[in-house]
Amino acid sequence: LESELNEDPNVQGLALDLPESLYSSKVLNAVKPEKDVDGLSDVNLGRLVRGDAYDCLVPPTVCAVMELLEDLGGKNVLLVGASGTVGAALQCMLQREGATTLSCRWKAPELQTKLNHADVVIVGSTKPDDVPVSWIKPGTTIISCSRDLVSGKRQRWIQSQQYRKWDLRCLKLQLLSPVPSDIEISRAQSPKAVDVLAKEIGLLTDEVEIYGQTKAKVRLSLLERLKDQPDGKYVLVAGITPTPLGEGKSTVTIGLVQALTAHLNINSFACLRQPSQGPTFGVKGGAAGGGYAQVIPMEEFNLHLTGDIHAITAANNLLAAAIDARILHENTQSDKALYNRLVPVVNGVRGFSAIQLARLRRLGISKTDPGTLTEEEINKFARLDIDPSTITWQRVVDTNDRFLRKITVGQANTEKGFVRQAQFDIAVASEIMAILALTTSLQDMKERLGKMVVANDKKGEPITAEDLGVTGALAVLMKDAIKPTLMQTLEGTPVFVHAGPFANIAHGNSSVLADKIALKLVGEKGFVVTEAGFGADIGMEKFFNIKCRASGLVPSVVVLVATVRALKMHGGGPNVTAGAPLKKEYTEENLQLVADGCCNLQKQIQITQLFGVPVVVALNVFKTDSPAEIDLVCKIAKQSGAFDAVPCNHWSAGGRGAVKLAQAVERAANQKNNFKYLYSLELPIVEKIRIIAQKVYGAQDIELSPTAQSQVDRYTRQGFGNLPICMAKTHLSLSHQPERKGVPTGFILPISDVRASIGAGFIYPLVGTMSTMPGLPTRPCFYDIDLDPITEQVKGLF
């Protein structure tokens, strides 16, 4: 019967949304033919309620039935093998819904007649031998907790499940004035249980992995289930050139989704980067938004989250350890000893591992028996011959540890003098983080991890993680990190937190996978809002040319964030010192400074237009901004080609303060969209760099150092010439000189070096030196951080 039922196209099978691990052995036994199952035996649904697994098995059943009945109202429902207390409860509830209910044991003689009259059959257990498929009339809905009976159907049902408008319970804000600290606001709000949120946005139970009360990972299988569903609109939040005064891109991102979903009743998702713990304990504090536009609980967001950065650290450092250990072992062993250790006899058998066979194939050796390799082949296979001076793979920690910026490793006697100079980077600067952000599947991630180039051999050929035999282990370490983490805003709307690559030497955008999943979950009319680090000239340019190329996704709207204060600084306002009171230029009306500073806004609007995407300017309002200043910025923005320009107050008012922005974004998303990349990948590396420098930064030209030129030549020769470009340039100016605010012109952009992240898939030219390891100041912010041992509450994160 099982196979018949599963293959009969007339039978509509519905399985309940229970992960397999929730089935008890009794339920599994219940679908095996040798068991005698009837309404009174101890394996029917009623018994299970009182038995061993009721609290996971039955409540979803009851709820799912009730939910289904809304769609199936007034049907004839037959309960088969569902007696006992819950069988009766089900019957009672079904009757209240207006369904006609019958109940029957599996062996009862009247089963065939009853089945014939039923529109819906609810089976508490199955006894396949007794039920010929012909007894079930075409079009009957079967609700079962027996997976074997309907497993084929379940697949079909899941695939065909269509998008529904969310029935989301938003959380109310109790706005206080003056606005309390971020952690006080976060703590004052009780987040919804994350499994409730997951259900509200259409996730199935087995697509969600709960991590505590407020975080969950979402499985990638959803992309397969919803692959035929159209994507929602894709919104990028970018900014003007940053100043020490801050612009608030994250708060705009969060405020915008709070406005869309909690106030305009439009499905929306924010996709954010996971912050590094370095700055959390260093100088910056949290990164979960601020004021009444935050992700909650903010301490979870800012601490370990679901461990993705730790997984990256572990994978990164395993590879680093493998490089140095391999050099040591190669340098201290003969070819034969090395080969015997690499391909040992285990229980009398000697064989290559899969990853070793792959290396043999790359070397053009088609042998599979370790005993048959020639001495030359053994040498080729066993020696990577890494040139230590070319190692580009660095160790990482997720701590601001300045003393690790330049170190010497290998000084213990056990390392036999193979010392070398090395460094630690902050964990988010790892290429593995850039890969996590750009990958599109587990298979793709594994391939990218294998392709990472860590050094050259002594002949100048690239050495990869795959050559070191570590691809599989890296993928195993990253298998959970690839799943985006679901959290919520202060108003209870959904947020994905996933990946946070360093925005200097990498692309600085959150993950492609989170965006893709969110675009399916919001549905065609919904919005996914994500953020690009730094100014639009850096973050947005990389978002379009690198991230959108990796994902194939087309952005609908760019939201460009500006503040009156930051524009005043671009207009020539005085420098700002941390701790000192703000100068009066920033706290009193000064229309001239604003007007002068708008050149930067104008330039960033023009950069956006290079990509053919409509731009909405979001002016993040401070209480010292005068109405005339606000009007002036909006007027200039619109004159400069913005689709609209809107002041917003989400920091003090939550989503309600960003409703006008949300409306403008919605209108802009319906504009004609001519999205295009800035350059073709086929162009030579130098040409691609020049296009970015001239068209985006406004440089007159570029100038490569000899090192940079030789690296370009090397990468081109190694076959990496047609990767996109990821500029490593200061974010504090459109030029390479941080002190040049506004819109600098006439400069020659110096390229001091060129490096590559082959696994992530980009070339990164260095414009000056980029620090990849922050430091702790004299008074790190950990002085204010504390844990109340009684309430378990975190204090002092902001």
| Contacts to a copy of itself from residues 282-321, by CB under 8 A | 299, 303-304, 307, 310-311, 313-314, 317-318, 320-321
Q: Residues 393, 543, 622, 747: which is the catalytic one?
A: 622
Asked if 80 and 37 count as a contact pair (C-beta separation under 8 A), the reply is: no
Residues in Cβ contact with 9 at an 8 Å cutoff, skipping those fewer than 6 apart? none
Residue 159 interacts with a copy of itself (CB under 8 A): yes or no: no
Angle (deg, nearest 10), helices 375-382 and 354-362: 110
Using CA atoms, how far apart are residues 710 and 390, in angstroms rounded to an integer? 13
Give strand pairing partners of 290: 293
Does residue 442 bind a copy of itself (CB under 8 A)? yes
Q: State the binding string over 384-413 for a copy of itself (x if CB under 8 A, else -).
A: -----------x-xxxxxxxxxxxxxxxx-
Residue with tokens 């107050």: 649
Only segment of 347-355, 591-599, 715-723, 736-744 that touches a copy of itself (CB under 8 A): 347-355
Q: Does 246 bind a copy of itself (CB under 8 A)?
A: no
Confirm or reject binding of residue 167 to a copy of itself (CB under 8 A): yes
Query: Among 488, 384, 468, 396, which Cα is nearest to 434's?
Result: 396
Binding mask 32-51 for a copy of itself (x = CB under 8 A): -----------------xx-
Candidate list 10, 116, 368, 443; residue touching a copy of itself; CB under 8 A: 443
Q: Is 690 labeled as catalytic in the residue annotation?
A: no
Give the end-to-end CA distance of the chain in Å, rounded to a whole number: 61
Minimum distance from CB of 160 to a copy of itself (Å)? 22
DSSP state of 262: I
Q: Which stretch binds a copy of itself (CB under 8 A): 141-149, 209-217, 538-546, 649-657?
A: 209-217
By the rule CB under 8 A, 554 interacts with a copy of itself: no
List the one residue out of 454, 449, 428, 475 whose CA is nearest residue 325.
454
Q: 240-252: b or e for each residue (b if 16 or more CB lie within 10 Å)?
A: bbbbebbbbbbbb
Pairing mode of beta strands 349-350, 268-272: unpaired
3-state secondary structure of 619: strand
Q: How far is the CB of 90 from a copy of itself (least distance, A)?
A: 8
Residues 566, 597: Cα–Cα separation, whole Å = 8
Task: Compare residues 313 and 464 and give the one whose CB is closer to a copy of itself.
Answer: 313
Q: Does 792 bind a copy of itself (CB under 8 A)?
A: yes
Q: Which of 33, 572, 738, 777 binds a copy of itself (CB under 8 A)?
A: 777
DSSP 193: P
If binding is defined by CB under 8 A, does position 342 make contact with a copy of itself?
A: yes
Q: Which of 35, 199, 549, 583 binds a copy of itself (CB under 8 A)?
A: 199
Handedness of CA 439, 253, 696, 553 (dihedral sign): positive
For a copy of itself, which is the closer residue by CB, 191 or 242? 191
Name the CA dihedral angle for 767, 772, 776, 781, rounded to a multiple of 10 degrees.
100
User: Phi/psi at 746 (nearest 5 deg)?
Assistant: 75, 15
Q: How far is the CB of 434 from a copy of itself (least distance, A)?
A: 19
Closer CB to a copy of itself, residue 59 or residue 460? Answer: 59
Q: How far is the CB of 587 from a copy of itself (least distance, A)?
A: 14
State the minimum distance, in angstroms, from the CB of residue 384 to a copy of itself.
12
Encode 503-558 in three state secondary structure. CCCCCCECCHHHHHHHHHHHCCCCEEEEEECCCHHHHHHHHHHHHHHHHCCCCCEE
Binding track, positions 254-283, relative to a copy of itself; x by CB under 8 A: -----------------------x---x--
Per CB under 8 A, 421 contacts a copy of itself: yes
Give the total of residues touching a copy of itself (CB under 8 A): 137
Structure tokens at 317: 């450092």
What track of x and - describes contact with a copy of itself for positions 69 through 88 (by CB under 8 A)? ----------------xx-x
Whichever of 748 and 787 has its CB closer to a copy of itself, that residue is: 787
Token readout for 359 is: 């290396």
Q: Which is nearer to a copy of itself, 59 or 641 (CB)?
A: 59
Q: Which is nearer to a copy of itself, 405 or 549 (CB)?
A: 405
Nearer to a copy of itself, 580 or 682 (CB): 580
**Out of 107, 164, 165, 172, which residue is the one contacting a copy of itself (CB under 8 A)?**
172
622 annotated active-site = yes
Strand partners, 514: none
d(CA 311, CA 477): 6
Residue 791, exposed/middle/buried by CB under 10 A (0-12, 13-18, 19+)?
exposed
Among 768, 770, 795, 798, binds a copy of itself (CB under 8 A): 795
Q: Which of 273, 326, 446, 741 is catalytic?
A: 273
Asked whether the beta carbons of 251 and 509 are under 8 A apart, the reply is: no
579 binds a copy of itself (CB under 8 A): yes
Instruction: Tell me if residue 284 is catalytic.
Output: yes
Tokens, residue 9: 């196209």
Decide if residue 782 touches a copy of itself (CB under 8 A): yes
472 near a copy of itself, judged by CB under 8 A = yes
The distance of Cα 291 from the centroid of its chain, to the nearest Å, equals 24
Q: Which of 156, 284, 367, 583 is catalytic?
A: 284
58 interacts with a copy of itself by CB under 8 A: yes
CA dist 233 and 249 (Å) reads 19
Q: How far apart, in whole angstroms, are the C-alpha atoms of residue 555 and residue 764?
A: 24
> Please, which residues bridge with residue 557 across strands?
235
* Shortest Å, Cβ 473 to a copy of itself: 4
Residue span binding a copy of itself (CB under 8 A) among the ranges 19-27, 601-609, 708-716, 735-743: 19-27
Is 251 catalytic? The answer is yes
Cα-Cα-Cα-Cα torsion 250, 254, 257, 262, nearest 10 degrees, comes to -160
Q: Which two tokens stand for residue 161?
A: 């499940």
Radius of gyration of the chain (CA): 30
The one segment of 207-215, 285-293, 559-567, 683-691 that binds a copy of itself by CB under 8 A: 207-215
Q: Contact between 576 and a copy of itself (CB under 8 A)?
A: no
- Residue 21 binds a copy of itself, judged by CB under 8 A: yes
SS3 766: strand
For position 778 contacting a copy of itself by CB under 8 A, the verdict is yes
Is 204 a residue that touches a copy of itself (CB under 8 A)? no
Active site residue 651: yes
**Residue 179 in contact with a copy of itself, rule: CB under 8 A:** no
Among 201, 293, 298, 322, binds a copy of itself (CB under 8 A): 322
Nearer to a copy of itself, 74 or 230 (CB): 74
Q: Is there binding between residue 333 and a copy of itself (CB under 8 A)?
A: yes
Nearest residue (CB) to a copy of itself, 48 versus 136: 48
List for the chain the helix, strand, coil content (%; round to 5): 40, 15, 40
Does the footprint of a copy of itself cover residue 783 (CB under 8 A)?
A: yes
CA distance 768 to 751: 7
Between residues 286 and 742, which has the closer beta carbon with respect to a copy of itself? 286
Q: Among the residues of 692-790, which ranges form H helices?
A: 706-717
Contact indicator for 269, 198 with CB cutoff of 8 Å: no
Choice between 358 and 683, CB closer to a copy of itself: 358
Q: Which of 26, 105, 153, 249 is catalytic?
A: 249
Candidate list 1, 66, 133, 770; residue touching a copy of itself; CB under 8 A: 66
Indicate the residue among 319 and 562 with the shorter CB distance to a copy of itself.
319
In sequence order, the 6+-apart residues with CB closer than 8 A to the CB of 708 are 751, 752, 753, 754, 765, 766
Among 23, 543, 715, 762, binds a copy of itself (CB under 8 A): 23
Which residues are catalytically annotated?
Answer: 249, 251, 273, 284, 503, 534, 622, 651
